[in-house]
């Protein structure tokens, strides 16, 4: 990675840093709720299914925001929409601290979701168009690794803030990402390939066979993997903090946060190594290795609640295989579509998948209420397997020049 950064231009490095910071802080704000979940449930008297429903709301609005942001990024610029997205999710994360009941909590999380979804649609294309073909996978993998850093930040904040000040103070910390936008707006240029083709996107292209088929398949792949991801990782902090009698690991909030950090270090490695392997061996075989690895490990992790040592040992591998495949989306999706509608198509595929995956936290919560939370986590394994099967319907795009 150091060699990659040294060979890059100043503008490429700035793009990479801006996109990774945006994605890191997106992850932090998105996952604050997961760490505050137990406290919010107690204060508002909610069941796990109801708490899972609140987790689902920003996934729905995020899908809407992401799809819209794709169009806006094609129309007005990738870097500009990245700034807008960070401002939106920062503001409404902070306002979540004022919620007095589940309805208000849902309202602020719904508005926050528009910004969370928009960030990926703008940032992923910004990087894909700014970096050359030979290193595109590595660059996208580096950006995706920001999510792991955001998860770690959320865990560290939760462990230090919640025991002293409560869950509301945790959401106040979510306003801080807005400060990053000042630098992004001044220092990060739009990609040359966008400046050349910048125009009002012709959305009719989306229904032509050349675009419609890969768009539908890409949407199905995103749907299966995002369902698995949000079903699993929304509930892992609560799983670690849930009593043994209810299928959890029986840890305190502070201790569960400590168990999450090694998992996210594994995630960081997974994101970056996926990009390296994908550039060398191809997008498809690397993707299959990661998602099938996750499918095998997740049920074991869900049944290991009574064994903290095993949970700690498995954590980095769950993070590695359960996150790394996300680096596929920024590289492979960009390589499937032409520049004039690239962000729009990526935004639709990724965020339509996110909309369906909004049912995942509620589904896992409902299963947890009857079967135990560990068993519920194991259910997500089926969606990793489905994603592995669907990837065979997309072409291998290693070495493809952007259209």
pLDDT for 276-297, tens place per residue? 888 888 889 999 999 999 999 9
What Cα–Cα distance (Å) separates residue 72 from each residue in 21, 226, 328? 21, 23, 23
Distance CA 45, CA 186 (A): 46
Cα torsion 24, 29, 33, 34 to 10°: value is 0
Among 31, 265, 291, 313, which Cα is nearest to 145's?
A: 265
Tell me the mean pLDDT in the region 346-373.
Answer: 83
Domain assignment of residue 188, yes or no: no
d(CA 81, CA 89): 13
Lowest-confidence range among 137-141, 149-153, 331-335, 350-354?
331-335
Position 149 scores a pLDDT of 86
How confident is the model over 119-130, as pLDDT tens digits? 877 887 888 888
90 inside domain? yes
CA dihedral 132, 137, 141, 144 (to 10 degrees): 80
Label residue 179 by pLDDT band (50, 70, 90). confident
Residues with Cβ within 8 Å of residue 373, at least 6 apart in sequence = 48, 235, 238, 239, 242, 246, 247, 248, 302, 364
> How much is the pLDDT for 98?
93
Q: Residue-wise over 316-330: b if at least 16 C-beta within 10 A, else e?
A: bbbbbbbbbbbbbbb
In a domain, 281, yes or no: yes
Count up the domains in the chain and report the number.
1
Q: Report the distance separating Cα 146 and Cα 232, nearest Å.
A: 19
Going by pLDDT thresholds of 50, 70 and 90, the confidence category of residue 26 is: confident
| Nearest CA among 338, 377, 351 for reference residue 210 | 338
Structure tokens at 206: 């989306």
Q: Would you state the pLDDT for residue 35?
A: 83
Tell me how crowded residue 375 is: count the other CB atoms within 10 A of its CB. 17
Domain assignment present for residue 186? The answer is no
pLDDT above 70 as % of the chain: 94
Q: Quick one: pLDDT at residue 192?
A: 76
Question: Is residue 265, in this structure, part of any structural domain at all?
Answer: yes
More confident position, 243 or 77: 77
What pLDDT, on the 0 to 100 scale, is given for residue 174?
A: 86
CATH number at residue 335: 1.20.1250.20
Average pLDDT over residues 36-58: 83
The boundaries of the domain holding residue 58 are 2-179+202-393
Can you give 364-379 as a three-state secondary structure string? HHHHHHHHCHHHHHHC
Section 181-196 average pLDDT: 79
Q: Where residue 386 falls among pLDDT bands split at 50, 70, 90?
A: very high
* Token pair listed for 137: 């996978």
Pair 184, 22: CB distance under 8 Å? yes
Contact at 8 Å (CB) between 278 and 398? yes
Is residue 202 within 8 A of residue 340, CB to CB? The reply is: yes
H or E segment to which residue 253 belongs: helix 253-281
pLDDT band at residue 402 under the 50/70/90 scheme: low
Task: Examine residue 244 and state whether it is found in any structural domain, yes or no.
Answer: yes
Query: How many other CB atoms are found less than 10 A from the CB of residue 204?
Result: 9
CA 1 to chain centre: 22
At 151, the pLDDT band (50, 70, 90 cuts) reads confident
Q: What is the pLDDT of residues 321-347, one digit of tens each?
A: 998 888 777 777 778 888 777 878 888
- The whole-number pLDDT of residue 228 equals 93
Residue 197 lies in a domain: no
Is the residue at 100 inside a domain? yes
State the sign of the Cα–Cα–Cα–Cα dihedral 5, 31, 189, 118. Answer: positive
The mean predicted confidence, pLDDT, of the chain is 84
The rounded distance, in Å, linking the Cα atoms of 403 and 394 is: 17
């Amino acid at each position: 990675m150091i060699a990659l950064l040294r060979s890059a231009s100043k503008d490429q490095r700035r793009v990479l840093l801006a996109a990774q910071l945006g994605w890191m802080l997106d992850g932090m704000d998105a996952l604050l709720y997961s760490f505050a979940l137990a406290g919010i449930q107690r204060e508002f008297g909610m069941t796990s299914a109801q708490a899972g429903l609140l987790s689902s709301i920003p996934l729905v609005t995020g899908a809407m925001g992401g799809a819209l942001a794709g169009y806006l990024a094609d129309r007005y610029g990738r870097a500009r929409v990245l700034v807008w997205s960070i401002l939106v999710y920062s503001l409404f994360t902070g306002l979540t601290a004022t919620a007095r009941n589940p309805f208000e909590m849902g309202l602020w999380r719904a508005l926050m979701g528009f910004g969370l979804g928009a960030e990926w649609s703008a940032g992923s294309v910004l990087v894909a168009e700014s970096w050359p073909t030979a290193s595109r996978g590595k660059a996208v993998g580096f950006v995706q690794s920001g999510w792991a850093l955001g998860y770690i930040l959320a865990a560290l904040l939760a462990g230090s803030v919640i025991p002293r000040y409560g869950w509301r103070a945790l959401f106040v910390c979510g306003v801080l990402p807005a400060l990053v936008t000042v630098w992004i707006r001044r220092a990060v240029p739009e990609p040359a390939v966008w400046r050349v083709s910048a125009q009002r996107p012709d959305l009719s292209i989306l229904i032509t066979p050349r675009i419609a088929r890969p768009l539908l398949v890409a949407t199905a792949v995103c749907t299966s993997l995002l369902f698995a991801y949000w079903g699993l990782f929304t509930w892992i902090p609560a799983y670690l903090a849930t009593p043994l009698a209810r299928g959890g690991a029986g840890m305190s909030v502070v201790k569960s946060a400590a168990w999450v950090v090694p998992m996210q270090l594994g995630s960081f490695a997974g994101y970056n190594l996926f990009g390296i392997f994908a550039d060398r061996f191809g997008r498809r075989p690397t993707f299959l290795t990661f998602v099938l690895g996750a499918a095998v490990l997740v049920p074991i992790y869900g049944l290991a609640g009574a064994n903290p040592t095993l949970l700690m040992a498995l954590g980095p591998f769950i993070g590695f295989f359960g996150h790394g495949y996300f680096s596929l989306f920024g590289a492979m999706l960009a390589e499937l579509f032409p520049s004039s509608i690239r962000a729009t198509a990526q935004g639709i595929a990724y965020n339509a998948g996110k909309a369906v995956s909004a049912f995942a936290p509620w589904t896992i919560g409902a299963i947890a209420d009857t079967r135990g939370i560990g068993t519920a986590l194991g259910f997500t394994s089926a969606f990793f397997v489905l994603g592995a099967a669907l990837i065979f319907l997309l072409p291998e795009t290693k070495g493809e020049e952007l259209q």
